[in-house]
Structure 1
């Protein structure tokens, strides 16, 4: 029943749980067993529901779910539909459909009622006769007869189970159907519930159903449910259900914005190939709204579509050639027909944004240009008030390029003034495109200055790679004998952008060339170039950087270049700690100086560097506070996605992760709906996967596969994602995969950074851990072959340690933690692989050091990991009490983190918070269980003794006991019995 109701393209009911619950509870539908045999209707609070909502909002999908719930509860469900047949609609059409369904599903009931009411037979589908044949005779369709007959039909159907009657699309109902519904609403049939749906947006002021809905709502036992558009979060869920592959945040945001929560619109936008226009099928549906409008109203509606998302009455009056009264009448008609909506501020907009797009797409090309030109004239001559952005849009589409360029630049400056760098960048990019493609020069527009301004806006919006691309494109247009001033300024901007992104280019070389070109330039340009060059030299060339920065500072102070002086103080604070205070105090002072001067970007940079300093020193609490300060200050200035706040968000999540606050870190990086630049979207997602897959052990291989496509966009993305893959491989003991991942990460990151980047020490150590985990399952030959990979990881780690040895500032507690962990993992591999195995004291001492350095840094996940490994070596060395104590601490942390790999590793060690229990009638001691596992791996008694730091003779005794307990004749049989009984 309701078989003709079309299904959505996804079978999931998304975002409608509340509506379904309201309908089910108010109508008394509850799933129950054994319904039938004369069951009475379930108690309910209403007998009829009106379900209203705009076209495509999901009324039918909710009713389908209600149908399923009713059938599950043992109800009969019948449905009829009204059709848009204009004046030729057949009377009682939905009830004719219901009669046909009853005759097909319950012919006995239908036959009995038809015998009592022959009149009802005239409603049978396929037997509707022409009115000329029914004008005489006893069987004329008398309304009273029809009402009584249909009421008796429903009563008969409800004799053995409750009945749900659904009538859809009542906005198309003929007069006879509306009267039948009025009868059923006012004279309810026991055991029968009625649900009627209609499109709220179709009920204009003169619609015949509008009055009747108001009358029905006054009846007792009748209620209404308004199906609202989906919330943004539910829109995202629906998009994911329709389009399981990954979408960028920009694509999600576009669909959320354009669809306005309407599921039908969402499906069409997701399913259509992106062309910038409304999909054809959707446009046809939307443009039906215009068919009932008169010509004048349609003309005004087209004018509104050209205006954009919203237009003032004043601007419409200035552009339209209609008189005031005629314009007001047309607007009133459009509003009453639910095409436009009017705001209290005197503006008009389309009820659905997509309808406006469809109307605009339907205009002829010449018609669009003419109407846009009318808007340019009205705004440019001051006949109406508008923004520079509006003027730029209309001038661009009217092909008035000089006006469009000047208006776009003005719009960009206005956007920057109110903290909208992303919007500003868009306007500047439009202006650049118009300048480059203009057939004539645009007066008063400096293409080089415009490009630099655009790059600044792009960087402030977090779109640094795009800024680099724009600057390079402008440099390529400069003639070989062009101005050194222009080239030098562009190179300064380019080097500044290169410092903020991972690139294979050298910002140091770029900035050095800029300085040489600007040596004879005005002081402001030279000081800026020197500042950028000092930043590019950084701590790797601290002496040179300090000299360049001090030269720039002297120029800035001598020429009263206040803003540059403030930025230079930030740079000097990190390069000249001997100048009177620590770097920490210097950066805090620089941040406060920038704040007093009202310079947001230098303030954010100083705070970011201060947070990094505390982070590197292991003061995670203070680092977290400073990172939060960066984020909060950036939001004040509209710079939330500029590089320093955006990276501070990631580093804040990293610090929270180290503190074991994984859920806080996850939520911080969940930027759904915030539309960050894609590079940060994937960077944040990579760290989320490090939490989910690496630490918590969730199986999400496809997520890691998708992330690999974005490793090259940012080195941290590759390191976070690669670390998650390495941790997963280590948990699985898959050394080959771990080595392959390591090589891929190094291959990706080295061109972006340098050969011996510090995180390489951590990556190599994780690979050593994976090699150690794999060793117990390897043969002697395989373990000997693994020595090559182990030695390579050791050598790579040693090169990193040697590289950073001259830089005292890089030897923070996190660095020390990984140095200690590297040594401990190497010894663990030697122990488990029995390749030059260490003594138990040496092994325990190394893992004690790994634990101590992890505690010193305060990294909860790394403390837990070190303790898991320490418990294993303590247990093997015979210190059962010490192993138990350390394992309990590790287990507590692992449970708090939700770290399944750590818990699994504790279990594999034989460490358990509860005493061992007998399985299959066999009770093995913890040591016997440990030896049995090694026997199953094919280890000899000698190898087992070396690994467990006990004598070969002791191992032999334990093996004999195990064989006796398992009633096994050989080691092979013992292993087979143990696996069968779940002992290993």
Structure 2
């Protein structure tokens, strides 16, 4: 229902005493004023910033009525208002539905703007409502499914930009208000589009308000997390609509019943309605006739209105309820099975009784709760029959609708054959508009239906292609684990049924399984699957063979089998070029480029740069993302962080533009860039990368980001023990989570004086990573060094017996690291700066532990070798560039020097470590320095203002207001990195340990208002 174009109760008829439907808003003047001012519909108060609004409230509390009042106010101020509605399709997702509705109205009212944008952004046409209707019964399996790396068309960049452009174009004619209602029913793609628009704060001329039911947002509801992410964006405000107070409820009752109600009935309505405007109307309506019994159950209260309808109106309403909240007139004609006059009379009665509301050739329930109550009142057989009529109407073309709608009605009508083909078409439609989550859902629905069919060829669906479609969509949505499982389930089912499966089917499915498997953490050998897929693929000029060869070459590279990869890759490239498979050829070129890693790094980088250019030219987005990521890794491995940042940033932006932030290599670029910022001490910039302008991350990606985020919080003194414990289930699913989380656990154990707990975390991480990787993985050196550091710290506090028990642990941890070093062989035959630094740290921590154990152990170590080991660790960590770890090394070396009788040398190192710790806000490190007895020089009382530049004072003001580096960068039109540098300088000049302390100092010294 278009609540911004219809007024409930207009022309309402009543029975018995006069019971009007209130068209006047009651008790919401303050909320309307706040909403209008925030959006800029009415001039805001001095100092207010214009924002987009998230409007929440319980079902029936008055969100729609408030938005209707906002619509009237906006139109009166010369604004355009366009509304889109998310509908409760249950298990049938239709991506971008509200934006299709908005675009349809724009095409009618602003055709010039839509046409102009469509010429430069052809993807816009995909969202036009007429393009999303069912048309024809062509093949549901495309012959070109094997021609690309991912067969689903999932690049959403142009689609997102097109929607933004058309809103801006329309807004140039007059200010525009975009309303998206009922986002608790929104599909993932709609939420992604909203994220994109809400994050584009520089877009001029239009404002956004999105409403949702707060009582529907249970803990696992996807919108719950999304709202939290939106709320962190600058310029997004949340307004919660509370229940009406008792006086407002009484005012509403007096409007509904001009003659008034007896006080006892009035008090009963006030008590039972609990401030919910819709419940007030229904309770008053139910009690309108003298002696009327008002049911105790809310659903029965809602159905009282249905009972007052005549037979024709009741039949119309029940038929409409099977459609959801909204139904077109053509659909009712096709499904109600009523003579024309009876249908018209029934519709008029339903509208006059305020059950349905007429709106632009369609009808909608006055409130979703009313439609839900009517549908729930139907018997199971009645529901199935009604959905069967909808299936017939959609399939025969007597009424228009989408493939997703047909799939939903067919499933509810128990029509499996129709549901199968409709689900496949719905998946294709979702892919075509860049909705990977919705596409994956529909394809999996089709697979479930197909699995129950005894004859796989009954419905013209190629099972193997359907499986690949589902796997590709799941991978693009950031869930390769599920992709692997889907393929495995289908292969196992075929095996158990003894089905006669063509070799091409097996080749296609095995190749898809291997492609998803090699980007997950598993002990399964993906090369065996991809090799078997090549064996089963047809010989000669086959697109399927080219694809299986391409995937096999990529996996061989990942397993370090470079000679084989080159042979397979060259065959794949020749075949792809012969068959003119441009996207697939670009992916193979990227694979072949990585083979140059065994030679000089310059050769690898030149080859990958060419691969990026080729992939971009052929619009092979996945190949381009992989090449950009691999270039970033090449520079990162050599600690050339500036160049690495450039390539990782370009990968993030490309993935974001394509609407694939969680797909392989797009997310990995974000992860690696965050790690670089962590290493360089740009912690606030790293934290900014954990907040994504787009869809909420899938579970594994969320765990990866959380593990790195918790490292920063822990280093700043936060107690993260409970949160890091929650990451344990993800250790086996992604090794990087295990590495970072184990380090956090070990440090936490050290802070509570529990060296055995730290060693237990180390052992568990080694066990997990040994299973999914191999026993002597390279990061084991870092984990052993961290564990050794905790053991060394515990030595002075331990008894002689405890120290004696810890010494074998020291030996074991150091030996573990040395075995890794002896066994590890990388393609370039070298350890990079990071590996060299942690290897030296391992040996230095082992010496420190023995030295702190005292007695004979200390004498064997000797002070001079101990200092030399830590000096070398300092040099290597400085070369590596890890700011925080370098400060830790200097702090420990300072403690050794002070204990060894060199206070001057200890003071120099302590001052260097303190400067870094203050810039980072690393309070635990500052506490360690204080414990050493090396105190900081006193700061000046009030002269720091002279040391701050004008730009630093400006940034300090924003810091004091709680803005992040990313938000400040957008406000000042500078890079986030530049802001980070300024903030670090400010903290150093003020002698502050963090942003909060800097703000306090600034206010105390009157450096800011």
**TM-score scaled to structure 2, two decimals?**
0.61
Matched, 1:393 2:417: no
| SS of the residue 1:307 aligns to | coil
> For residues 241-285 of structure 1, what are the alpha-carbon distances to aligned partners after superposition, in whole Å with 9 as ceiling and x for unaligned?
xx7xxx58587569999x997889xxxxxxxxxxxxxxxxx9953
RMSD: 3.9
Give the direction of change, closer, same or farther, for the CA distance of 1:54–1:720 in structure 2 (3 Å limit). closer
CA apart distance, 1:673: 8.4
Once residues 522 and 743 of structure 2 are traced to their aligned partners in structure 1, the CA distance between those partners, rounded to angstroms, is 21
Matched, 1:498 2:514: no
| SS of the residue 2:732 aligns to | helix
Partner in structure 1 of residue 636 of structure 2: 615
Once residues 623 and 337 of structure 1 are traced to their aligned partners in structure 2, the CA distance between those partners, rounded to angstroms, is 66
Structure of higher CA gyration radius: 1
2:777, 2:820 within 8 Å by CA — same for their partners in 1?
A: yes
Matched, 1:556 2:576: yes
Partner in structure 2 of residue 285 of structure 1: 298
Matches of residues 477-496 of structure 1 in structure 2 within 5 Å?
477-478=494-495, 479=498, 482-496=501-515
Matched, 1:415 2:430: yes
Give the direction of change, closer, same or farther, for the CA distance of 1:598–1:298 in structure 2 (3 Å limit). farther
Partner in structure 1 of residue 869 of structure 2: 846
| SS of the residue 2:935 aligns to | coil
CA apart distance, 1:568: 0.7
| SS of the residue 1:582 aligns to | helix
Matched, 1:750 2:765: no
Matches of residues 337-348 of structure 1 in structure 2 within 5 Å?
none
CA apart distance, 1:515: 2.2
Matched, 1:635 2:653: no
**Comparing 424-433 and 290-299, the one that deviates more:** 290-299
Partner in structure 2 of residue 426 of structure 1: 441
Once residues 840 and 221 of structure 2 are traced to their aligned partners in structure 1, the CA distance between those partners, rounded to angstroms, is 40
| SS of the residue 2:539 aligns to | coil
**Comparing 891-900 and 801-810, the one that deviates more:** 801-810
Matched, 1:761 2:781: yes
Partner in structure 1 of residue 543 of structure 2: 524
Matches of residues 163-202 of structure 1 in structure 2 within 5 Å?
none
Partner in structure 1 of residue 613 of structure 2: 592
CA apart distance, 1:502: 0.8
Once residues 832 and 337 of structure 1 are traced to their aligned partners in structure 2, the CA distance between those partners, rounded to angstroms, is 86
Partner in structure 1 of residue 387 of structure 2: 372
Partner in structure 1 of residue 684 of structure 2: 663
2:704, 2:736 within 8 Å by CA — same for their partners in 1?
A: yes
Matched, 1:537 2:550: no
2:721, 2:748 within 8 Å by CA — same for their partners in 1?
A: no
Once residues 681 and 398 of structure 1 are traced to their aligned partners in structure 2, the CA distance between those partners, rounded to angstroms, is 38
Matched, 1:696 2:716: yes
2:484, 2:517 within 8 Å by CA — same for their partners in 1?
A: yes
Give the direction of change, closer, same or farther, for the CA distance of 1:797–1:673 in structure 2 (3 Å limit). same
CA apart distance, 1:303: 3.6
CA apart distance, 1:556: 2.6
Once residues 717 and 349 of structure 1 are traced to their aligned partners in structure 2, the CA distance between those partners, rounded to angstroms, is 49
| SS of the residue 1:808 aligns to | coil
Once residues 842 and 870 of structure 1 are traced to their aligned partners in structure 2, the CA distance between those partners, rounded to angstroms, is 12
* Candidates 462, 467, 486, aligned match of 2:483: 467
| SS of the residue 1:712 aligns to | coil
1:297, 1:334 within 8 Å by CA — same for their partners in 2?
A: yes
CA apart distance, 1:286: 5.5
CA apart distance, 1:365: 0.9
* Candidates 410, 421, 437, aligned match of 1:406: 421
1:495, 1:510 within 8 Å by CA — same for their partners in 2?
A: yes
| SS of the residue 1:709 aligns to | helix
Once residues 757 and 823 of structure 1 are traced to their aligned partners in structure 2, the CA distance between those partners, rounded to angstroms, is 18
1:56, 1:263 within 8 Å by CA — same for their partners in 2?
A: no
Partner in structure 2 of residue 870 of structure 1: 893
> For residues 16-68 of structure 1, what are the alpha-carbon distances to aligned partners after superposition, in whole Å with 9 as ceiling and x for unaligned?
9x97999xxxxxxxxxxxxxxxxxxxxxxxxxxxxx98767499xxxxxxxxx
Once residues 323 and 750 of structure 2 are traced to their aligned partners in structure 1, the CA distance between those partners, rounded to angstroms, is 59
Partner in structure 2 of residue 705 of structure 1: 725
| SS of the residue 2:767 aligns to | helix
CA apart distance, 1:433: 1.0
| SS of the residue 1:912 aligns to | coil
Once residues 493 and 335 of structure 1 are traced to their aligned partners in structure 2, the CA distance between those partners, rounded to angstroms, is 53
Aligned length: 679
1:303, 1:371 within 8 Å by CA — same for their partners in 2?
A: yes
CA apart distance, 1:361: 3.1
CA apart distance, 1:402: 2.0
CA apart distance, 1:678: 1.9
Once residues 333 and 890 of structure 1 are traced to their aligned partners in structure 2, the CA distance between those partners, rounded to angstroms, is 80
* Candidates 916, 920, 928, aligned match of 1:905: 928
**Comparing 365-374 and 657-666, the one that deviates more:** 657-666
Partner in structure 1 of residue 844 of structure 2: 824
Matches of residues 188-337 of structure 1 in structure 2 within 5 Å?
284-285=297-298, 288-293=301-306, 294-295=308-309, 299-308=315-324, 310-321=326-337
> For residues 337-372 of structure 1, what are the alpha-carbon distances to aligned partners after superposition, in whole Å with 9 as ceiling and x for unaligned?
8766776x6555556656544443332111111111
> For residues 928-984 of structure 1, what are the alpha-carbon distances to aligned partners after superposition, in whole Å with 9 as ceiling and x for unaligned?
xxxxxxxxxxxxxxxxxxxxxxxxxxxxxxxxxxxxxxxxxxxxxxxxxxxxxxxxx
> For residues 690-721 of structure 1, what are the alpha-carbon distances to aligned partners after superposition, in whole Å with 9 as ceiling and x for unaligned?
2223x223123222222212322222222222
Once residues 390 and 505 of structure 2 are traced to their aligned partners in structure 1, the CA distance between those partners, rounded to angstroms, is 37
1:804, 1:810 within 8 Å by CA — same for their partners in 2?
A: no
Partner in structure 2 of residue 682 of structure 1: 703
Could you say which structure has the greater relative contact order, defined with CA pairs below 8 angstroms and 6 or more residues apart? 2
Partner in structure 2 of residue 510 of structure 1: 529
Partner in structure 2 of residue 360 of structure 1: 375
1:868, 1:906 within 8 Å by CA — same for their partners in 2?
A: yes
Once residues 388 and 417 of structure 1 are traced to their aligned partners in structure 2, the CA distance between those partners, rounded to angstroms, is 13
User: Mind listing any 5+ residue stretches in structure 1 that lack a counterpart?
Assistant: 1-15, 23-51, 60-200, 202-227, 265-281, 917-984
Partner in structure 2 of residue 142 of structure 1: none
Partner in structure 2 of residue 583 of structure 1: 604
Once residues 646 and 342 of structure 2 are traced to their aligned partners in structure 1, the CA distance between those partners, rounded to angstroms, is 62
2:852, 2:858 within 8 Å by CA — same for their partners in 1?
A: no
1:563, 1:599 within 8 Å by CA — same for their partners in 2?
A: yes
CA apart distance, 1:430: 0.9
Partner in structure 1 of residue 465 of structure 2: 449
Once residues 592 and 585 of structure 2 are traced to their aligned partners in structure 1, the CA distance between those partners, rounded to angstroms, is 10
**Comparing 883-892 and 578-587, the one that deviates more:** 578-587
Give the direction of change, closer, same or farther, for the CA distance of 1:904–1:415 in structure 2 (3 Å limit). same
Once residues 850 and 340 of structure 1 are traced to their aligned partners in structure 2, the CA distance between those partners, rounded to angstroms, is 76
Once residues 362 and 809 of structure 1 are traced to their aligned partners in structure 2, the CA distance between those partners, rounded to angstroms, is 72
Once residues 811 and 334 of structure 2 are traced to their aligned partners in structure 1, the CA distance between those partners, rounded to angstroms, is 79
Once residues 262 and 687 of structure 1 are traced to their aligned partners in structure 2, the CA distance between those partners, rounded to angstroms, is 37
Once residues 769 and 53 of structure 1 are traced to their aligned partners in structure 2, the CA distance between those partners, rounded to angstroms, is 52
CA apart distance, 1:499: 0.7
Give the direction of change, closer, same or farther, for the CA distance of 1:346–1:621 in structure 2 (3 Å limit). farther
Once residues 887 and 618 of structure 1 are traced to their aligned partners in structure 2, the CA distance between those partners, rounded to angstroms, is 25
Give the direction of change, closer, same or farther, for the CA distance of 1:309–1:602 in structure 2 (3 Å limit). farther
Partner in structure 1 of residue 751 of structure 2: 731
Give the direction of change, closer, same or farther, for the CA distance of 1:607–1:779 in structure 2 (3 Å limit). same
Partner in structure 2 of residue 103 of structure 1: none
Once residues 331 and 860 of structure 1 are traced to their aligned partners in structure 2, the CA distance between those partners, rounded to angstroms, is 72
Matches of residues 597-608 of structure 1 in structure 2 within 5 Å?
597-608=618-629
Matched, 1:722 2:742: yes
| SS of the residue 1:292 aligns to | helix
> For residues 46-95 of structure 1, what are the alpha-carbon distances to aligned partners after superposition, in whole Å with 9 as ceiling and x for unaligned?
xxxxxx98767499xxxxxxxxxxxxxxxxxxxxxxxxxxxxxxxxxxxx
Once residues 852 and 287 of structure 1 are traced to their aligned partners in structure 2, the CA distance between those partners, rounded to angstroms, is 77
Once residues 55 and 459 of structure 1 are traced to their aligned partners in structure 2, the CA distance between those partners, rounded to angstroms, is 36
Once residues 305 and 511 of structure 2 are traced to their aligned partners in structure 1, the CA distance between those partners, rounded to angstroms, is 60
Give the direction of change, closer, same or farther, for the CA distance of 1:824–1:58 in structure 2 (3 Å limit). farther
CA apart distance, 1:336: 8.3
